[in-house]
Each structure stands twice: as C-alpha cells, then as structure tokens.
Chains A and B, each alone.
Chain A
Amino acid sequence: MKKTLTSAATVRVAFVSLVSLGMLVPMYLLVVNAFKSQQEILANPFSPSFGTATFQYLADAWNNPDFSILKGYGVTIALVLCVNALAMAVCAPAAYVLARTPKPISRLLLFFFVAGMFIPTQVILVPVIFVLRGIGLMGTLPGLILFMTATTIPFTLFVFFGYIRVLPRSLDEAAAIDGAGRYRTLWRIILPLMRPIVATVFILNSLSVWNDFASPQMILGPGSGVYTVTTGVYAAVGQYSTDYTKVFPTLLLAVIPILVIFVVMQRHIMSGLAAGAVKG
C-alpha cells in the first residue's frame, strides 16, 4: 500500500515537472536568444551564449525607429490607468444604486449590463469606428479609452454589484440618519469597504487592457503614430518574423514589465482571478 502510494506520487511529480518544463521552455528560448546573432540562433537555439552574448540586439530593439518601446510602455500604462479610473468612477456609483434598488428594476438593469460581457468586442470594432468617427474621437487616445472603458463596464459593474449587495444596509441607514446623501454615503462609507474588490478588478482590467491588440490596432491605426506595447510589437516584428535578432529582443522587452509585475504580485493576481470568477 505504502509503496504504490509513493510511486503514484513520483509519477505525479514527474508529470507536473514535465508540464512545467513545457511551459517554461518558450520563455527560456526567448531570454537566451535575445542575446545572440542570427547565425548563433539558427545553429544552437537552446544553448546560452555566455561567451558571445551581446546587448547589441536588445539595444537595437530599444532604439527601433519604427517603434519606441519606452513610449509604448508610457502609452499603455496611461491607458491602463485611465480606463481603470474611468470604469470605476462610473461603475461604483451605478453598482451602489443598483444594489440598493428594489429587485425587478435592478435585476433588469443588471441583466442589460451583464449581457455586454458576452459581446465579442473584437467583432464590433468596425461599427465602433463609425460611432467614434461620429463623435470626433476616431484615431485618438480618448476614443480608445472610452471604448475600452465600455468593454470593462459589464464585468466591473457586475462584480461591484455582487460585493455591495452583501454589505449591510444598516450602514446606509445610519449614514442617512446622520443626514448624508447618496454620494456622501458612497464616498465615505461604501468605497472604503470596497478596497479588496477594487484591487481585484484593477488587476483583471489592467491585464485585459495591457494585452489588448485589436482595439488599439483598429482605433488608433498606424496613421495616428501612437503605439501601445502590442501594436508597437506588431509594427516592429510583423514584417520581419524570420529576423530573429529583431523578434526575440523586441518580444523580451515587451514582456519584461508585465512578467516582473506578475512575479511580484503573483499571489494577488491568481487569487484575484479566482475570486473574480467565483463572483462572475
């Protein structure tokens, strides 16, 4: 009995290790080959090149005239912050009111919003272009921010709603007796209690905004000259996908910040995802 158990455990560990290896090898290749010349990559993709390693290709990718990675980081971080701020600014009050509204009306409105979670956003980008053109925001960052905010509203609102609904109403009533209006109650009483869910929503929305490619590609377009990390990578690597001295360094520079953040905040990101999914 004891023996079969341990051998089962060995198989389990071996299998998990094997899968983990399969997950890590692409990242290993990305790191190792970012420091090699094309000939070295083609000759020996797996071996690290301690002797001949050079930062030249990373520097070239960093100084790429088509796409400044530093600017790409800046634009994308600005997008992440603006979309989060705007989405929370509109969703927190709405979720609060819905959570405190009698059932039939709030259920109906909530359903109206939740339905948006299932709209495939890439697919409606074509009509979105015409809407943005109509309000004069096509090809601009504010237009992109507005659209990305709209795509995050259903999830944000739904999760906020679920969280606020279980906060005791007696808190509101106490505030009302003290003469606080709705805004004041939300700002002083409810929002401070929402810190954990705000963190979860921030993480999940940030990931989806950071990694979105279709929306910035279609809304900003190459004409605007504004690149996010993803559209910049596409501009820098798209046509040169067999020039590995461009591909590996550019991709490495594009993923470093998000990987560093992930490694530092890994526990929060993964538990936030689980919490968000259970609520969602």
Chain B
Amino acid sequence: MERTSVSKPRAWRDLGARVSMVVPAVLVYVALLVVPVIYAIYYSFTEYNGFPHRVPEFVGLDNYRTMFGSDDITGTMVVTAVVAVVGAVAVNLAALGLALLLRRTNRFNTFGRVVMFYPHVLSALVVGFLWQAILGPQGVVNTMLEKAGTDSLPFLSDPDWALWSMILVIVWSLFGVQLILYLAGLQAVPADLLEAARIDGASRWQTFRAVTWPSLASTVTVAVITSGISLLKTYDVVVSLTGGGPAGSTKTLAYSILAVSFPQRDIGLASAQAVLLIVAAAVLAITVLVLRRRAEDDAESIG
C-alpha cells in the first residue's frame, strides 16, 4: 500500500515525460503532412479557386470525371507511368550491372563508384538545365553534329524523342544511388556459397543465377519499387529540361499539378490529381511492405 502511493506520482511523471517527448514530433508531422493530405482529399471533391474569402463548394466526383475525361491529364498519367516504370527498371538494371562489375574494392573501383554517384548530390533542377545545354537544339551535341556535317538530332524538340531523352537524364543522375544500395546488398551474399560455387566449377552466369541473384532478390524488388515511387513525383527535371514540352510529351502529373492546375487556380482539380498520385504511391508502398515482410520471414526461416 505504502509502496504504490510512493511510486504512483513517479509513474505519472514518467508518463507525462513520455507523452511530452512524442508530442512535438506528432504535432509537426500531423500539421504539415497529415492535414495537407486530408485537405487534398477534401478539396478534390470541391470546386475552389483558393481565394481566402471563398468557400470550397462541394461538387462530388466532378474533378475526378474532369481528370479522367481530359486527354491532356490522362496524357500526363501515361507519361508519369512510363517515367516511373521504364525509369525504375533502367536505373536498377544499370545499378545492378555496374555493382557486379565494381564489387571488389580497389582504387579503380572506388573511383568508379564516386564518379557514378556524384550526380546525386546535384539538384535535379541543375541537372536538367545542364543537360538542356547539352541536348538542346543549340546544345553541345548538336553543335558537334553540325560541325561534323550531319543533321542535328531533336533530343528535346521532337515529342517522340523528348520523353526518352528525359528518362536518359533521370537514369544518368539517379542510378548511382541504387548502385550503392546494390553494393551493400552484395556484401550480404554469403561468401562460402560463392566459394563453393567456384570450387564446383560453376561459370560466372551460373554463380550469378544460383547464388547471387537469390540472395539479392528481395533487395532488387524493394529497390525497384522504391525508385518507382520516387520517380512518380518527377517534377524538377521536367521544369528545367523540357518545361513539359514539346506538345506536353514530357508533362508529368506532378508538373501538371504545380505548373498548370495550381496557377490556373483550379485547386479542386489539382487536389484530385494529388490524390491519384498519393494512391499510386500508397499501392506501391504497401507492395514494398508486404514484400519486405515476406523477405524477413524468409530470412528468418533460413537463418
């Protein structure tokens, strides 16, 4: 009896301390990340021009109908999907391939890793402007082609070329990050299995198929999907490399939200587009979590 009356205030004080330690993080996170998502969902069902004295007017699914009915916006969805899927696959193929080549740590390989990683520290905006100066109609490559007497190539000025040029630039600037992740993943490939495969006289390809790939598989899935998620919101490089053109051929959803719907004061439509992207990211994220959970279970059942 005596004991509880002594320890109770202390327990309360400890609870108070615990709560006060969590609350600031919750507050900032909720106010500026969770509430905006809720707002986006709410605005997506309204007609609203964003002026302070106007009240959002409920319009049901109108914005979603507009969104899926507009060729312009469905076009941005296709562009976004192509960037996310093709970009993620290309980034990871390049990263995995080079990680296998740069696996051993020596001076040459370390140099290679640094050189392939450095674009990550540049902002995507700067990367876009730089490549615009290289691939643009008057850019470095076309200047050289003209000097060589050949026709210039419409990297950024032909709708059929621009999207692929943009994906190339994205891959150039991003694969270094995944490269580092794969190098870390390769460290976890059991050395005794590799040794056993070598002793059994397995070829390089056989070793990769039978030893490296299985122990890397979950890393690969997670890396592909996380890079896909980050490519869903491609915006900066669109602004600086192509401005969404020519003829909207490189206009992503994020660009359409921030550079078209918002300046046109169509908050409802911008929010509906945002909700679509959030749902797409959520679907991919849940896939990651499920796969990771499964990978952890596998790892536990093996180890």
Contact = CB atoms under 8 A, between A and B. Distances in A.
Interface stretch (A54-62, A163-171, A194-202, A211-219): A211-219
A181 B25 contact: no
Contacts of B117: 266, 270
Interface string A183-210: 1001000000000000000000001001
Interface in B29-59: 29, 31-37, 39-40, 43, 50, 52
Interface in B221-255: 229, 232-233, 235-236, 239-240, 253-254
A16 interface: yes
A241 B133 contact: yes
A90 to B, nearest CB: 4
B271 A127 contact: yes
Name which of A124, A247, A259 has the most chain B CB atoms within 10 A of its CB. A124
B172 interface: yes
Interface residues of B, number: 85
Contacts, number: 249
B157 interface: no
B98 A237 contact: no
Question: What size tier do the contact residues of chain A reach?
Answer: 35 or more
A20 B111 contact: yes
Contacts of A126: 40, 43, 257-258, 262, 267, 270-271, 274
Contact of B233 (A16, A117, A120, A229): A120
A211 B122 contact: yes
Interface in B264-287: 267, 270-271, 273-274, 277-278, 281-282, 284-285
Nearest to A275: B184
A60 B235 CA distance: 29
Contact of B232 (A113, A120, A130, A241): A120
Interface in B12-28: 13-14, 17-18, 21-22, 24-26, 28
10 contacts: A93-B21, A116-B34, A118-B282, A120-B229, A120-B278, A123-B273, A133-B52, A150-B33, A183-B17, A218-B262
A233 to B, nearest CB: 6
A12 interface: yes
Nearest to A186: B21
B74 interface: no
A248 B126 contact: no
Contacts of B285: 115, 117-118
